């Protein structure tokens, strides 16, 4: 089947499928005319990749997971290790997002939201430079 059919069956855009081929995640056969010729097995791999990406795994993680999936002599602890590391990264991201939310909520609460020009939200953002030089970016 061609890339359009593979896209439809796998639920991935054709552009993504071409990218996955470009970086070596999949390797469809080539027909005599040079066109890609996707098999049912290719579609299964693409669906696997779609699901892994939807779970937030990186391309490198997907590469490792795909290799482990295809290795029938794999050790499940290798797969578990990748998944556990991903959960740890997700938990860290959740903490970062919660911190951002808390900061923004405080700033929103401090902002009068009226016609006055003073704005604690902008003041905080402007003061967020590494050297602590408030107002330095305003001159740029």
Q: Could you give the angle at which helices 76-110 and 59-70 cross, rounded to 10 degrees?
A: 160
List the beta bridge partners of residue 37. 29
What does the alpha-carbon distance between residue 34 and residue 17 come to, in Å, rounded to a whole number? 16
pLDDT band at 70 (very low <50, low <70, confident <90, very high): very high
Mean pLDDT of 104-125: 92
Tell if the pTM clears 0.85, that is, is over it: no
What does the alpha-carbon distance between residue 22 and residue 107 come to, in Å, rounded to a whole number? 45
Model confidence at 137: pLDDT above 50: no
pLDDT band at 107 (very low <50, low <70, confident <90, very high): very high
Q: Could you give the angle at which helices 14-22 and 40-54 cross, rounded to 10 degrees?
A: 100
Mean pLDDT (the chain) is 90
Model confidence at 10: pLDDT above 50: yes
Mean pLDDT of 27-32: 89
At residue 136, the pLDDT reads 46
Mean pLDDT of 17-40: 92
Mean pLDDT of 28-44: 91
């Amino acid at each position: 089947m061609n890339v359009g059919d593979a896209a439809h069956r796998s639920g991935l855009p054709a552009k993504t499928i071409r990218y996955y081929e470009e970086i070596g995640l999949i390797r469809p056969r080539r027909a005599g005319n040079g066109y890609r010729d996707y098999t049912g097995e290719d579609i299964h791999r693409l669906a696997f990749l779609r699901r892994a990406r939807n779970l937030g795994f990186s391309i490198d993680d997907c590469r490792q997971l795909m290799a482990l999936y295809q290795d029938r002599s794999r050790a499940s602890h290798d797969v578990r290790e990748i998944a556990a590391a991903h959960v740890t990264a997700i938990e860290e991201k959740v903490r970062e997002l919660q911190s951002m939310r808390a900061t923004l909520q405080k700033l929103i609460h401090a902002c009068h939201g009226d016609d006055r020009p003073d704005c604690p939200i902008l003041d905080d953002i402007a003061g967020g430079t590494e050297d602590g030089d408030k107002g330095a970016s305003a001159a740029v």
